[in-house]
Amino acid sequence: MVSRVTDDYVAMATAGCAAICEPAFWAGFDRSSPQGFFDYFRQLTEHEPKRAAKFGVPHYCWLCINPKEAEDVKLATEVIALIPQFLAAPTVLGIGEIGLNKNSRNELKVLELHVDLAARHGQLILVHTPHLEDKLKGTRLILDVLKNDRRIQPERCIIDHVEEHTVKLVLDQGCWAGMTLYPETKCTAARAVDILECYGNERLWMNSACDWGISVPLAVPYAALEMRRRGHAAAAIDGAIFGNPLRFLSQCPKFKPAS
Asked whether 223 and 181 are in contact (CB, 8 A), the reply is yes
Residue 58, CA atoms < 13 Å, CB-side half-sphere: 13
Least distance in angstroms from the C-beta of 160 to Zn ion? 6
Q: Which region among 74-82, 125-133, 201-209, 234-242 touches Zn ion (by CB under 5 A)?
A: 125-133
Task: Quickly list H helices, 83-122.
Answer: 105-121
- The CB-of-88 to Zn ion minimum distance in angstroms stands at 25
* Residue among 59, 68, 128, 232 that touches Zn ion (CB under 5 A): 128
Instruction: Decide: 30 and 71 in contact? Cβ < 8 Å.
Output: no
Q: Is 68 in the site for Zn ion (CB under 5 A)?
A: no
- Residues 79-118 binding Zn ion (CB under 5 A) are 97
By C-beta, is 120 or 212 nearer to Zn ion?
Answer: 212
Among residues 117 and 187, whose Cβ is nearest to Zn ion? 187
Dihedral sign for Cα atoms in the order 194, 198, 199, 202: positive
Shortest Å distance, C-beta 207 to Zn ion: 10
Instruction: State in angstroms the smallest separation of the CB of 54 from Zn ion.
Output: 27
Closest CB to Zn ion among residues 113, 162? 162
Whether the CB-CB separation of 254 and 91 falls below 8 Å is answered with yes
> How remote is the C-alpha of 95 from its chain's centroid?
9
In whole angstroms, give the CA distance from residue 61 to residue 126.
11
Pick 19 or 210: Cβ nearer Zn ion: 210
Per DSSP, which regions of the chain are E strands? 20-23, 59-63, 92-99, 124-128, 157-159, 176-181, 204-208
Binding mask 195-234 for Zn ion (x = CB under 5 A): ----------------------------------------
CB closer to Zn ion, 48 vs 97: 97
Size of the site for Zn ion (CB under 5 A): 2
Q: Is the CB of 79 or the CB of 227 nearer to Zn ion?
A: 79
Is residue 155 helix, strand or coil?
helix
User: For Zn ion, which is the closer residue by CB, 192 or 237?
Assistant: 192
CA-to-CA distance for 239 and 230, rounded, in angstroms?
A: 16
| Residues 140, 77, 31, 87, Cα dihedral to 10° | 90
Residue window 135-164: x/- pattern of binding to Zn ion, with contact defined by CB under 5 A: ------------------------------
Q: Nearest approach, Cβ of 256 to Zn ion (angstroms)?
A: 25
Site residues (CB under 5 A) for Zn ion? 97, 128
